[in-house]
């Protein structure tokens, strides 16, 4: 009878393991079916299109910022150039007045 009990216990463990494996198989099969569906493919395509749109938008914003900062740098360089000219003129005036 003890060997019969061990056989029943082993059989119960096998049944339990088999059920867990079957449940995992069903979940995997459902996921695979989902991924193979047109709806899933369409969703992935839409997500990719959104990501592409976001990337293009970010690229445009970056380009606009770059252009703005480039213009600011150019304006500052122009201001510096004008200030150097004025400084040179003032130094010339001071030099003349110092003589």
Predicted TM-score (pTM) of this structure? 0.48
**Per-residue pLDDT, 37:** 86
For the segment 31-59, what is each residue's pLDDT rounded down to a tens digit? 888 888 888 889 899 999 999 999 999 99
Instruction: Report d(CA 6, CA 14) in Å as an integer.
Output: 12
pLDDT of the residue at 67: 96
- With cut-offs at 50, 70 and 90, classify the pLDDT of residue 15: very high
The H or E element containing residue 1 is none
């Amino acid at each position: 009878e003890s060997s019969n009990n061990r056989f029943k216990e082993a059989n119960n463990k096998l049944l339990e393991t088999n059920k867990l494996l079957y449940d995992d198989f069903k979940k995997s099969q459902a996921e695979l079916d989902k991924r193979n569906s047109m709806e899933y493919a369409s969703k992935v395509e839409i997500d990719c299109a959104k990501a592409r749109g976001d990337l293009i938008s970010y690229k445009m914003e970056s380009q606009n910022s770059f252009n703005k900062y480039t213009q600011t740098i150019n304006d500052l360089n122009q201001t510096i150039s004008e200030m150097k000219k004025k400084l040179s003129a003032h130094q010339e005036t001071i030099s003349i007045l110092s003589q």
